[in-house]
Structure 1
Amino acid sequence: MYNAGRELAGSIVKEKLAACVNIVPENRLFLSALQINTDPEELLIIKTRQSLLPALTEHVNANHEYDVPEVIALPINGGSPQCPEWLNNSIRD
């Protein structure tokens, strides 16, 4: 997954679906066939606008190696006042 995560992040930024993608290495813990399993993977923190979420989700689904990649949107409730301007100037309309 490590190279796949970097490639997916690069394609997201190249397509201007996000201004920035942070790649965080992690271990996924999950239950399968009544057994706890762990796998190394990368968490992508993708910074974009709500209006691009459908296109971003479609891009992730089409380019991710998992059958059902996890896409979760979190609202921005505050932060630096310059961030929205930087974000809007870095992604597609």
Structure 2
Amino acid sequence: MNDEYCLIITTFNDDRNGQQIIEALLAERLAACVQVMPIQSWYHWQGKVNCDAEKLVLIKTKRSLYLQVQACIIAHHAYEVPEIIQVPIEAGLPVYLNWIDKECRD
């Protein structure tokens, strides 16, 4: 299968901020689907180990839109350094991948 599609991962800890990010991604047709799950994150930040309740965000989109998705997240995110990671989709149900293609802008 081709590598036209990807999953972009980010997180947020404020539901209102998360809603702004998600609404912007969908309104700009940068994502076909956005899923949100509660998680607990442990991480190093500014010399300390932190533990926070966050939401994990999985964004299904096209690889060609990565930079635009990244810019959209940065423009709306409350974090100084938000997590933004792209994971390629190497294979998937063709009809599902076609749906992603149809729902995201060219």
TM-score, length-normalised on structure 1? 0.89
**Alignment match, 2:7:** none
Query: 1:6–1:23: 8 Å Cα contact kept in structure 2?
Result: no
Q: Relative contact order (C-alpha < 8 Å, sep 6+): which is higher?
A: 2
Give the aligned CA root-mean-square deviation in angstroms.
1.4
Shift of 1:33: 5.4
1:48 alignment partner in structure 2: 61
For residues 11-70 of structure 1, the C-alpha deviation after alignment (integer angstroms, 9 at most, x for no partner) is: 211110000100111111112455432111111100000110011100101110011111
Structure with higher strand content: 2
Contact 1:17/1:91 (<8 A) preserved: yes
For the pair 1:15 / 2:28, whether they are aligned, the reply is yes
Q: Which runs of 5+ in 2 are unaligned?
A: 1-13
- Alpha-carbon distance in structure 2 between the residues aligned to 1:74 and 1:2: 24
Listed as ranges, the gaps of 5+ residues in structure 1 are none
Count of residues paired in the alignment:
93
**Superposition deviation, residue 6 in structure 1:** 2.5
Match of 2:78 in 1: 65
Calculate the TM-score normalised by the size of structure 2. 0.79
